[in-house]
Structure 1
Amino acid sequence: MNLSLYLLTVLIWGTTWVAIKLQMGAVAIPLSIAYRFSLAALVLFAILLLSRRLQALGRRGQLICLAQGLCLFCVNFICFYTASQWIPSGLIAVVFSTATLWNALNARVFFGQRIAANVLGGGALGLLGLALLFWPQLVGHTASRETLYGLGLALLGTLCFSAGNLLSSLQQKAGLRPLSTNAWGMLYGSLILLTICLVQGVPLSFDASPRYIGSLLYLAIPGSVIGFTAYLTLVGRMGPERAAYCTVLFPVVALNISAFAEGYRWSLPALAGLGLVMAGNVLVFRKPRPALRPTPSTPAG
């Protein structure tokens, strides 16, 4: 079950970049994100109400959903969309892949969970592998003030993503399922985004072209309803640090699609990076060996 959820998350989120590129155009970025999550929340609420599986949330649960909506379905996306205007996508992917390490560290600080050495080692291998995969972009990009702004936003987006992971883990420990908490979190996130648009005077426009509507449907249903539910279920089942290794594999899927759709060519450093990412994946999910218990000595005579 865990493997199926893991592969589903990686395949879906590894392909959403195509739909995100199709979203760029006449509609403002925060408004497009708001459309995405309001539609996703509507679909989730409809499914839960029709199947009578919508869980009742108390005041504490609603407040955590509000925080989750702010971190995971609002600030996170604004940071990454804005950062992509200043720094290359490869650099963003490398920063985002540090979510594995941030999740392990935050779980230690806030939940008192022991940091597994194999998770840290696998995360470091994955980070090094992504750096090799995107080496031409990293070397060819000149540093500037905008670069620092972009890196700062990408790091802030990653920290918000990590915070959203931990909040979901907290909700699941309280017996609340990701379907219900995601529905409320996405609703809150879209309302916050719409409020930001109104305060900033962003025109509430909509692109009725098949390209925009098709990409919106893909981002809302597979990308959000299925993707976030599968991923946050993994967070509850496997822990935030192991589930976050998905963030290392998304760019690998995206590069393979780019090889067919955009003529991306694999180089030796990129292949070496791919090998390191796969090795990191194996290391992250390797089960630790049980500690050997000393055999009690039998008394003589």
Structure 2
Amino acid sequence: MTSFTLNLRPIGAPSLLLPALLACYLVWGSTYLAIRFALESLPPFLQMGTRFLAAGLLLMAWVAWRARQPGAVVRLPTLREWRHALVVGSLMLGGGMGLTASAGQHVASGLVAAFVAVVPLLVCGWGLLAGRRPSRLEWLGMATGLAGVVLLARGAGFAASPQGVACMVGATLTWSLGSVLSTTRLPLAPGASGFASEMLCGGAVLIAISLALGEQATWPLAPRALLAWAYLVVFGSLIAFSAYLHLLAHASPATATSYAFVNPVIALLLGVWLAGETVTGAEWLACGITLLGVLLILRGKSSAPPD
């Protein structure tokens, strides 16, 4: 059996690499169910907008405090970096997270997470536009993953909801494009200030969309919805999302997007266990094929020679 090893050699901050991976693997795997619970009282764009604004304000307040300390290495974003944060935040949060929450209204949370496994395929696709030629193994992985996504979209869960398919296609396209731009053409401010600026900009865009759609919360908020929202702010945004941006900046693309290999399994199991969601045998098979494609892509990336 051929062994599979991710390239875990970071560009910097090696001590944070493993915690960042675990945060993306475990926490993000559970956030899909938390999003579904929060939808009981908070519509999708309002839920996501308030979530990221709250997390961004908390993190930026810490950055501002740290920046005033003697000998501080933390700084506030420049005007140019704020512009970058607006574009990247609009794509990753406004499009990616807003549409993911919208899909949760129509499709089981585990299946939403399984669809997100297409992100590494799309990152490869955006790389093609940037002139990067995938290896043969990556081509095979993209073809395999695409076949799995097609089967998943034709399964009972998605077949009953064209809106869910449309939302997830838009979400994965915008999230993956934002991920690529944040590490190439539109770099954010370093460290926590960059994370905070993106969450603030993305949160503002989400709130604007929510207002345009006329979304309104259901009052009083259901206790489970409120707890889920708080979990998303602290763990999903402050911890896991910051961890992902750290991986994008300090690890290989294969490592940064490897969460897509683990999240669907965790989300599917949690959805079946805690929310009584049902997943058909054909959908499990489609998930397996999609994840096999992701595995092949990651294997191809980790074994490819450096550019």
TM above 0.5: yes
Displacement of 1:227: 0.9
Deviation by residue 1:118-159 (Cα, 9 ceiling, x = unmatched): 444445555666778x6xx84335857x52x43233111111
1:1-301 → structure 2 map (5 Å cutoff): 1=14, 2-52=17-67, 54-87=74-107, 89=109, 92-110=112-130, 112-122=131-141, 124-125=143-144, 138-140=154-156, 143=159, 147=162, 149-170=163-184, 176-203=189-216, 207-258=220-271, 260-261=273-274, 270=284, 274=288, 277=291, 280-281=294-295, 284-285=298-299, 287-288=302-303
Structure 2 CA distance for partners of 1:49 and 1:164, relative to 1, 3 Å: same
Q: Which residue is equivalent to 2:7?
A: none
Structure 1 contact 104–241 (Cα < 8 Å) conserved: no
Query: Structure 1 residues 218, 98: CA separation in 2 closer, same or farther (over 3 Å shift)?
Result: same
Aligned 8 A contact 2:183 2:248 in 1: yes
Q: Give 1:87 deviation, angstroms.
A: 4.8
Q: Which runs of 5+ in 1 are unaligned?
A: 292-301
Q: Which residue does the alignment assign to 1:299?
A: none
- Structure 1: which amino acid aligns with 2:155? V
Residue 102 of structure 1 deviates from its aligned partner by 1.2
Indicate if the aligned counterparts of 1:234 and 1:243 stay in contact, CA closer than 8 A: yes
Q: Structure 1 residues 285, 237: CA separation in 2 closer, same or farther (over 3 Å shift)? A: farther
TM-score norm. by structure 1 comes to 0.76
Q: Which residue of 2 aligns with 1:295?
A: none
Residue 75 of structure 1 deviates from its aligned partner by 1.9
Aligned pair in 2 of structure 1 residues 266, 62: CA closer, same or farther (>3 Å)?
Answer: closer
- Return the letter of the residue paired with 2:78: G
Following the alignment from structure 1 to structure 2, what is the Cα–Cα distance between the partners of residues 59 and 102? 30
The residue type equivalent to 2:193 in the other structure is S
The structure-2 alpha-carbon separation of the partners of 1:78 and 1:59, relative to structure 1 and needing over 3 Å to count, comes to: same
User: Quick check: 1:124–1:280 contact (8 Å CA) kept in 2?
Assistant: no
Given that 2:145 and 2:294 are in contact with CA atoms closer than 8 Å, whether structure 1 keeps it comes out as yes
TM-score (norm 2): 0.75
Shift of 1:22: 1.7
Contact between 1:12 and 1:223, CA under 8 Å: does it hold in 2? yes
Equivalent position amino acid for 1:236 in 2: A
Deviates further, 91-100 or 17-26? 91-100
- TM-aligned CA distance change 1:108 to 1:55, over 3 Å: farther
Give the residue type in structure 2 aligned to 1:250: N
Identity %: 25
User: Whole-Å Cα distance in 1 between the matches of residues 211 and 266 of structure 2?
Assistant: 36
Q: Cα distance 1:252–1:124, how it changes in 2: closer, same or farther (>3 A)?
A: farther
Cα distance in 2, alignment partners of residues 87 and 153 from structure 1: 10
Alpha carbons 1:119, 1:242 under 8 Å: kept: no
Cα distance in 2, alignment partners of residues 35 and 284 from structure 1: 34
Task: Assess if the C-alpha contact under 8 Å between 2:109 and 2:268 holds in 1.
Answer: no
Partner Cα distance (2:263, 2:89) in 1: 22
1:30-71 deviation per Cα after TM superposition (whole angstroms, max 9, x unaligned):
211111111110221133233335433333211110011211
Residues 53-98 of structure 1: CA deviation (Å, up to 9, x unaligned): 5433333211110011211111222322333444555654454222
Choose 1 or 2 for highest CA Rg. Answer: 1
In the alignment of these two chains, the number of paired residues is: 284
Instruction: Specify whether residues 59 and 209 from structure 1 end up closer, same or farther in structure 2 by C-alpha distance, changes over 3 A only.
Output: same
Deviations 1:231-269 (A, max 9, x none): 122222334455223223211111233454356799987
Give the letter aligned to residue 74 of structure 1: G
Give the root-mean-square deviation of aligned CA atoms: 3.6
Superimposed CA distance per residue, residues 216-237 of structure 1 (whole angstroms, 9 cap, x where no aligned partner)? 1110111011111111222223
Q: Which runs of 4+ in 1 moved over 6 A?
A: 129-132, 263-269
